[in-house]
C-alpha cells in the first residue's frame, strides 16, 4: 500500500539472509549483500537502520558490493554511488566500511576495473542477496535496453532517458555522467536471492514487462524471469498494469 509497508517486506528478506549467513557462519563467512542506489531502496534502508538501532539487527561480518558507479566520478564526489550508499545506509549500521565495495569510477582503465570488479564478487563467494530498483525503461543496475542477458560487469553508455531521469540529482544536466560501470545481467543473475522494489506510475510499464512480458533484451529486467528466487515489492501504482 505504501513505502513503509514495502520497506518492511524488503527488510524481512534482508533479515532472513543475515540470519541464514549467521547460522552457516562457522567458517566465518558473513552475508554478502548486493546493494543498489536510486531512490527506490531508500525506505528499505531506513527500515534496516531502524531495526539495527531498535532491534539489534546486526550486519557484523557482512560484506557488500554495489551494483554500479558513474564513470568519471571519484569515490568522494557528492553524486557518486560510493558516497550515496554510505550516506543512505552503510555508515548507519555495523558493517565495516572497508567491506563496502563499488566499482572505481575514477579508474584510469574502466574496462580493466569492470573485469576486476566482477572477479572480486566471485572471489567473495558470490552475492547472497541482491536488492534492485528498476529504471522506467526496464533497466536494472545500468543495463540499458539491448544489454545481453549474459552480460558481465562492464562500461555502459547511458541512454538519454536515463541521463534525464538522473539529472535531478545534479546541478545541471550537463554534469550528469553519460557512462557507467555496471554489473551485467549475467552477474546479477548469479546472486542467490534477489529482491526488487519499485513504486509509482512511471514504473508500471517496466514492472508489467518484467513480470509478464517475453524475456528480451528490449526490457532488461525480464532477465529476472530466469532466476529462481526473486521477490518483487511494488506499490499499487507500480502494479497498475499487471
User: Where in the sequence numbering do the catalytic residues fall?
Assistant: 68, 137, 139, 144
Which of 21, 36 has the CB closer to ligand GLP? 36
Binding string, 122-161, against ligand GLP, x = CB under 6 A? -----------xxx-----xx-------------------
Which one of residues 11, 33, 35, 36 is an interface residue with ligand GLP (CB under 6 A)? 36
The DSSP secondary-structure symbol of 62 reads -
Across the chain, the runs of DSSP E, i.e. the strands, are 32-35, 63-66, 68-70, 100-101, 129-132, 154-157, 179-182, 193-198, 230-234
**Own/partner pairs, 13-22, CB within 8 angstroms, 24+ separation:** 13/129, 13/193, 13/195, 13/231, 14/44, 14/48, 14/129, 14/131, 14/195, 15/51, 15/57, 17/128, 17/129, 17/193, 18/57, 18/58, 18/59, 18/62, 20/128, 21/61, 21/62, 21/128
Q: Does 38 bind ligand GLP (CB under 6 A)?
A: yes
Which one of residues 18, 35, 64, 67 is an interface residue with ligand GLP (CB under 6 A)? 67
Is 138 within 8 Å of 219 (Cβ atoms)? yes
User: For the chain, what is the radius of gyration of the CA atoms?
Assistant: 17
Which of 17, 166 has the CB closer to ligand GLP? 166
Q: Does 39 bind ligand GLP (CB under 6 A)?
A: yes
Q: How far is the CB of 162 from ligand GLP (least distance, A)?
A: 5
Q: Does 201 bind ligand GLP (CB under 6 A)?
A: no
Backbone angles phi, psi at 75, to 5 degrees: -50, -35
Q: Does 47 bind ligand GLP (CB under 6 A)?
A: no
Q: Does 110 bind ligand GLP (CB under 6 A)?
A: no
Which of 68, 128 has the CB closer to ligand GLP? 68
Query: At which residue does the C-alpha cell 550515496 appear?
Result: 84
Which of 47, 68 has the CB closer to ligand GLP? 68
Q: Does 66 bind ligand GLP (CB under 6 A)?
A: no
Output the nine-digit C-alpha cell for 31.
Answer: 552475508
Q: How far is the CB of 53 from ligand GLP (least distance, A)?
A: 24
Chain residues binding ligand GLP by CB under 6 A are 36-40, 67-68, 133-135, 141-142, 162, 166
Amino acid at each position: 500500500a505504501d513505502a513503509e509497508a514495502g520497506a518492511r517486506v524488503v527488510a524481512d528478506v534482508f533479515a532472513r539472509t543475515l540470519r541464514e549467513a549467521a547460522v552457516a557462519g562457522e567458517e566465518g563467512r558473513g552475508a554478502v549483500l548486493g546493494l543498489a542506489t536510486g531512490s527506490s531502496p531508500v525506505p528499505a534502508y531506513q527500515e534496516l537502520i531502524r531495526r539495527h538501532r531498535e532491534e539489534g539487527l546486526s550486519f557484523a561480518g557482512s560484506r557488500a558490493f554495489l551494483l554500479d558507479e558513474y564513470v568519471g566520478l571519484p569515490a568522494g564526489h557528492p553524486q557518486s554511488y560510493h558516497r550515496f550508499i554510505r550516506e543512505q545506509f552503510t555508515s548507519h549500521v555495523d558493517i565495516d566500511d572497508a567491506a563496502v565495495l563499488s566499482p572505481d569510477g575514477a579508474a584510469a582503465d574502466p574496462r580493466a576495473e569492470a573485469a576486476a570488479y566482477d572477479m572480486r564478487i566471485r572471489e567473495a563467494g558470490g552475492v547472497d542477496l541482491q536488492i534492485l530498483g528498476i529504471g522506467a525503461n526496464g533497466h536494472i543496475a545500468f543495463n540499458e535496453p539491448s544489454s545481453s542477458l549474459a552480460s558481465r560487469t562492464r562500461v555502459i553508455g547511458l541512454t538519454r532517458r536515463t541521463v534525464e531521469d538522473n539529472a535531478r540529482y545534479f546541478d545541471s544536466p550537463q554534469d550528469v555522467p553519460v557512462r557507467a560501470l555496471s554489473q551485467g545481467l549475467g552477474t546479477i543473475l548469479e546472486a542467490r536471492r534477489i529482491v526488487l522494489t519499485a513504486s509509482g506510475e512511471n514504473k508500471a510499464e517496466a514492472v508489467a514487462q518484467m513480470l509478464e512480458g517475453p524475456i528480451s533484451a528490449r526490457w532488461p529486467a525480464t532477465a529476472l524471469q530466469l532466476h529462481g528466487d526473486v521477490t518483487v515489492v511494488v506499490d499499487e501504482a507500480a502494479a497498475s498494469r499487471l
